[in-house]
Structure 1
Amino acid sequence: MIYNSSINNINQPERTFEPITIGRLAPDFVALSTQGYIRLSDYRGKWVILTSHPQAFGAVSTTEIISSAQNYPRLSEQNIEIIGLTTDNIYSILAWINDIYQNTGISIPFPIIADTDLALSEMYGMISPDRMFGVTVRSTFIIDPSGRIRAVITLPVSTGGNQEELLRILDSILVNENYNLHTPANWKPGDPLVVPNPVSYEEMVSRAENSESLGYYCPFWYLCYTYLNSNNISSPPGQTNNNISSR
């Protein structure tokens, strides 16, 4: 369980929340944002990236917000929305995004929630129970169109998020969802994919005997690579055409 326990609020009623885990429904909420009140469930049918920032006007958070804004057009084209969150009040956040615009010309096209009472931060486990940090950690939740959490990324306040890694994770999830294939270590779109392990003896034998016709390269009986658009892959990964996008 996630507990709201701190020496600073020891006399306050303790709130408990279900742990945020991959596969569960993302807790719904209505919250004030830079685009008015928003409800998470109104985003059903879209992929959602819910991401927290420790504070407005934070140096690292500013780089994250700008990077997200620059990536927003290509995300939006693929039915992916972004929701930001900080624990500052709405006026501070509005002043922050206006300052970004005045200095860079970059508008922030997605809402940023003002979680001043920490309700969402605690609900989503963005504040550690031992209060190692006095602010929210950098947490990102990838939520699918049905409202389920598909990935959770948590970073310390000193480490900015990597947009390319976030997009890579999204690509990986979509590859699995659309093609029932897995992605190996250090995978990037266009690289070979991993076929799920065989679940029966017959499948194992069939894979070994028909790997070439299946378009598999199998260095081990339990590890086979393939490409999305390949009917035959007879050479190891890295020696074939990698210019294949997963989308």
Structure 2
Amino acid sequence: MSLKLSDTAPNFQIATTTGDIDFHQWAGDSWVFFFSHPADFTPVCTTEMGRTAQLAPEFARRNVKPLGLSTDSVEEHLKWIKDVDATQNTTLEFPIVADADRKVAELYGMIHPGQSDTAAVRSVFIIDPQKKIRLTMTYPMSVGRNFDEILRVIDALQTSDKSRVATPADWRPGDKVIIPPSISNDEAKTLFPQGWDEIRSYLRMTSL
């Protein structure tokens, strides 16, 4: 199954380190950072899980729930969490899906045979409160994710949704944003009374 942007994220029921969940019910009205890792007790994955736990206040501030996944069992996950906490100086509290039969990994296209026939690659799905897939990223097994970028794109998506804007390359909160070409100048005057810089007719920059 090839999932695309704006598709509804497939629902599933499965065991996790915090108990059984129905994904859509668990997500509720929150955004979700759903990410897979190849295996427990491996070095890159340990740093990624630790970093996600360390960033718990940042995810919470954005109304985002992290959800991890690998094809290991709940028992293995729970043992590994102790190692993550000890080595990464954190307390991991978000759930990790135990996908031993690879049901969810296959559903979300996380198994890439060129990398492994049984372990998930480092997939990222950012899912909004309407359960729509808003962003996907896939990292190879040897490369850890950039969590600054993950938070940045969540900020960009939420800003775009709230203010009907687009964000330029390398945008960070507080930077100028783009008024989309689909918004006429007349409508823009109402939406953006602060005005804008018209660099080109198709490139209008404004501050929020």
TM-score between the two structures when normalised by the length of structure 1: 0.77
| SS class of match (2:169) | coil
1:154 maps to 138
Matches within 5 A, 1:16-31: 17=1, 19-31=2-14
2:66 maps to 82
1:133 aligns with 2:145: no
Letter in 2 for 1:32: A
Distance 1:38 1:151, change over 3 A: same
Say which of 81, 94, 97 aligns to 2:81.
Answer: 97
Say which of 19, 40, 45 aligns to 1:61.
Answer: 45
Distance 2:182 2:206 in 1: 14
Contact 1:93 1:112 in 2 (8 A): yes
Whose RCO is larger (CA < 8 A, sep 6+)? 2
User: Displacement, 1:100?
Assistant: 2.0
2:204 maps to 224
1:176 maps to 160
Q: Which deviates more, 98-107 or 148-157?
A: 98-107
Moved over 4 A (4+): none
Contact 1:218 1:225 in 2 (8 A): yes
Unaligned 5+ runs, structure 1: 1-16, 229-247
Contact 1:87 1:114 in 2 (8 A): yes
Query: Percentage identity across aligned positions?
Result: 35
Letter in 2 for 1:114: A
Distance 1:218 1:86, change over 3 A: same
1:245 maps to none
User: Displacement, 1:213?
Assistant: 6.8
Contact 2:49 2:84 in 1 (8 A): no
Q: Which deviates more, 62-71 or 213-222?
A: 213-222
| SS class of match (1:36) | coil
Distance 1:82 1:213, change over 3 A: closer
Deviation track 1:53-112 (CA, whole Å, cap 9, x = no partner) reads: 111011111111111001112212332101000111222211111112234442111000
**C-alpha RMSD of the superposition:** 2.1
Distance 2:197 2:22 in 1: 46
Distance 1:57 1:198, change over 3 A: same
| SS class of match (1:60) | helix
Distance 2:74 2:163 in 1: 42
Distance 2:50 2:151 in 1: 16
Letter in 2 for 1:153: M
1:165 aligns with 2:145: no
Alignment coverage as a number of residue pairs:
203
Distance 1:117 1:198, change over 3 A: closer
Distance 1:224 1:105 in 2: 45
1:192 aligns with 2:176: yes
Contact 2:47 2:88 in 1 (8 A): no
